[in-house]
Structure 1
Amino acid sequence: MERRRLLQTLATLGITSSPVFDSLHTIRDSVGQSLGRDERLDVEMWEETVSEYGYSYRLTPPQQLLQEVAADLVAVRQAMSRTGSRDRLFRSWCRVTGGLSLIMAKTLCNLGQSRQARPWWATALDAAELSGDPNLSTWIRGEQLIHGLYDRRPTPVLLRQADAALSGYADSAYRGVPEISAARAQVLVNHGMPAEAVAELHRCGEVFEKLPGSVTGNTRSIEGWGAARLGYTQAWVYAYLGDRDRLDQAVSQTHEALDPSDPSRRFRVQLALLQAMGHVRSGDVTEGVRHAQAVYETYPAEQRTTMVTRLADEVLEAVPVAERGGSSVADYRELLASPVGRRAIT
């Protein structure tokens, strides 16, 4: 009955199950039982799947990613049903579930469905705690804070969450700690606390230096946290401060840290929009708006996630009231307001 309900739910999401593949899955289960299936191999396969999502996340349109992750979560749920909570592999399955739930939460946020993402953030954290993996737990907390920032959740709420997350891990080198610190710096500058934001930037840099090379050198996957992520955080703070010189320096350093062969454009587009917004805040309205328009209108609509559209909107919001009647500003406003200008969600 549960399997039927899950399949019906997948069908609602547009994910169909072929009778042929269902039959093959049944045969595979039967063969696996005859061979004395090693569940450890299943866990390892799913851990690789989570790792692969780290690479495909920025390349796959969010609507497509939503369907793929949903189908995988159902498959993992069915695999876990054969494992008891006292089983030696239970923690590994929880780690897989936590990783997939994190991708689901991020994808829903990218589709503008932040309220629907909240239970998935909770599920991801619960699974991470049960797995006993602090790298996963801190990563999830950092990602939740970053998405909360783009979703414009109240900054006092985000600050409390960041402080609580750092209280237990501030001096550690777990993967998510610099991301939590980075989010805190971004929240502080948005909250009108520039000195505290710059101080947090320095702390973020200190934590970054403690990270292992396996994290800082992983530049193509969202599981990594390299120099480009640190540079992006610096660019964010200086953009909101309207400090053009330090902003441009941070953007230049971030580009140098990026892997030139990385096919993903999303990070570069966000960085460009952030720079445009900072230029507008510094007083260069015309050039900042033109730069934002040139970047935004050439980016595929199906890849315009909430993060991209939010930064595009903030370029316009940064324009002083007295200059909002200019032709370049009017053209940019028209682009953002048109159906083509928003992300495509089907």
Structure 2
Amino acid sequence: MPAPRKSSDRYRSMAHYFGALIRDLRDSYESRVGEPLTMSHLAARTGYSASMIGQIERGETLPESGTRVRTLDNALRAEGQLILLWPVVQRLGNHPINDLAAATNRITRGYRENGPCALIGGDDMERRYLLQLAGLGMLAQSPIFSTGEHIRQLLERSFGGPDGGTEDQWEAICADHMHALVNRPPTEALDGLMVDLALLYQQMSVAPPEQSARLQRIAAWMATMHANLLTRLGVYGEAGRWWRTARQAADASQDVDMQVWVRGTEAVFGLYSPRSLETVLTLARDAQTLAAGRVAAGLFQAVSAEAQTLAVMGRHQEARESVQRLHDLVERSTPDRRFNWTSDQVFFVSSWVHSFEGATEAAREARDSTLAQSPCYQNATNVRLHEAISLSSSGGHNEALQLVTKVLSELDPAYRSRMITHTARRVLDAVPSDQRAALPALPDYRAALSAPTST
């Protein structure tokens, strides 16, 4: 989405910047969507008067709530950009931009006195660049300002360093984020990712055409990780928009392996969201069709999603056939570790499928094999919940709920992602509804599920 782009603009405040962005999104609507969007049309879609829209676009007033911002974002097809900026706007509001720049100057004075050149001078373009990075990088907190990332970027540039990275450098950055994604709490991993998404946005906005496809591939990779983390945090609406962005970036890159990986990963994470099982199964099979026989991490993800979805649907014979196909694929090919496909994954999928079928011994063997591979906390916790699903599928309903309560109570709340609690809820789904109220373990189970999570 375009940021306010007129070089003559001098943003007096964050409210002025926010209003200018809304104006530019409305002005660009026809080129993006194919139909014009006048101020009156936008007012009708959002419940505002046309005069109020004008005041907001001029920075004279702000939307009164996050709900209003979401309505504006949807009406403008802003892909979440206004929602992302809103916490920043709330904090900075009408605070003069020049004061913010002066505060930044004070922070960097030591660098300027001893470094080869001034980091921040009187150049308004530099200030707007810093503001744009801050806006793109902030969610509920400020990973860019709080870690000094904006200072580091400007310092690097003062030494003549590049504004962006090479493809190899971005590959290394993505690998670091993949590692953080499976080893750190979701909120921490999200903050770090947002900083580099802002940097990537900046590089893509000035990159020559010959670099576009490579950067679009990186954008697809990073957007997929962002959607992954939002799903873990239970922010499903925003996650859906990021999945769409990831698909669009992958398609623009024309990298088939990336296209398949994005779609296969989306299918896997669809199992941990409110999406219907039929939709998830379609995603998984579409990804396999797109792979057209190419054996790669994305195909492994797609087959995994298919097997797991069929198991939840109760189509156990088909699920076992998909698991066997997954084993065969892994035996024929070395997985690409850049995309976090590790040797325990195939056993994790087997554990899921056998647990839903109530095949106790096969589920136990797959679970033990998963844990023996030293997996990430997410898989280690979820296979213990698979054991509870297996118990419940075999008739041990009360014992299953007791096990879930134990697993959740032992897990640090920072790591208690919505993916984990989503699996925990499936344990109760395996209990006939007319038997649930009589289970002694039900109150503790419900209390464990309602305890604070990483959100």
Q: Structure 2 length normalisation: TM-score?
A: 0.66
Once residues 20 and 112 of structure 1 are traced to their aligned partners in structure 2, the CA distance between those partners, rounded to angstroms, is 28
Say which is worse superposed, 238-247 or 100-109, in terms of deviation: 238-247
Corresponding residue for 1:13? 140
Write the mapping of 1:274-313 to structure 2, written as runs, cut at 5 A.
274-313=386-425
Larger RCO, structures 1/2 (Cα 8 Å, 6+ apart): 1
What is the rounded CA distance, in whole Å, between the counterparts of 2:256 and 2:454 in structure 1?
36
Query: CA 1:152–1:241 in 2, change beyond 3 Å: closer, same or farther?
Result: farther
State the 1:226 CA deviation: 2.9
Which one of the candidate residues 225, 235, 243 is aligned to 1:113?
Answer: 235
Q: What's the secondary structure of 2:217's corresponding residue?
A: helix
| Alignment deviations for residues 112-165 of structure 1 (CA, whole Å, 9 cap, x no partner) | 111111221122122223333333222211110011111141122222222221
Aligned to 2:347: 231
CA contact (8 A) 2:295 2:333 kept: yes
Give the aligned partner of residue 202 of structure 2: 78
Give ranges in structure 1 of 5+ residues lacking alignment: none
CA RMSD of aligned residues (A): 2.5
Q: Do the aligned residues in 2 keep the contact of 1:46 with 1:96 (CA within 8 Å)? A: yes
**Contact 2:220/2:246 (CA < 8 Å) preserved in 1?**
yes
Contact (CA 8 Å) 2:358, 2:390: kept in 1 or not?
yes
Cα distance, 1:248–1:77 mapped onto 2, change above 3 Å? same
**Other-structure match for 1:343:** 453
Mean Cα displacement is larger for which, 301-310 or 61-70? 61-70
How far the C-alpha of 1:30 sits from its partner, in A, is 4.7
Structure 2 distance, partners of 1:243, 1:19, is 49
| Residues 266 and 283 in structure 2, CA contact (< 8 A), matched pair in contact too | no
- What is the CA–CA distance in structure 2 between the aligned matches of 1:56 and 1:64, rounded to whole Å? 8
> Distance in 2 between the 1:329 and 1:24 partners?
52
The question of whether the paired residues in 2 share the 8 Å contact of 1:302 and 1:344 is answered with yes
Separation in structure 1 between the aligned mates of residue 360 and residue 276 of structure 2, nearest angstrom: 27
Structure 1 residues 21-78: Cα deviation after superposition (integer angstroms, max 9, x where no partner) = 6455345335427xxx597x54322221101111111222212222221121111111
Question: Alpha carbons of 1:198 and 1:170: their partners in 2 closer, same or farther (altered >3 Å)?
Answer: farther
Q: Matched residues in 2 for 1:19 and 1:165: separation?
A: 39
Match of 1:316 in 2: 428
Look up the SS of the partner of 1:344 in the other structure: coil
Partner AA of 1:270 in structure 2: N
Residues 1:245 and 1:24: Cα distance change in structure 2 (over 3 Å): closer
User: How far, CA to CA, are the matches of 1:20 and 1:102 in structure 2?
Assistant: 26
How far the C-alpha of 1:20 sits from its partner, in A, is: 7.3
Map of 1:166-205 to 2, 5 A cutoff? 166-205=288-327
- State the Cα distance separating 1:110 from its structure 2 match: 0.8
Q: How does 1:251-266 map to 2 (within 5 A)?
A: 251-256=367-372, 258-259=373-374, 264-266=376-378
Structure 1 residue 5 displacement after superposition: 4.4
Match in the other structure for 2:283: 161
Within the alignment, does 1:272 sit opposite 2:381 as a pair?
no
The number of residue pairs the alignment matches comes to 326
1:92 equivalent among 214, 221, 227: 214
Contact 1:201 1:234 survives alignment (8 Å): yes
Counterpart of 2:108 in structure 1 is: none
Is the contact between residue 186 and residue 454 of structure 2 (CA under 8 Å) also seen in structure 1? no
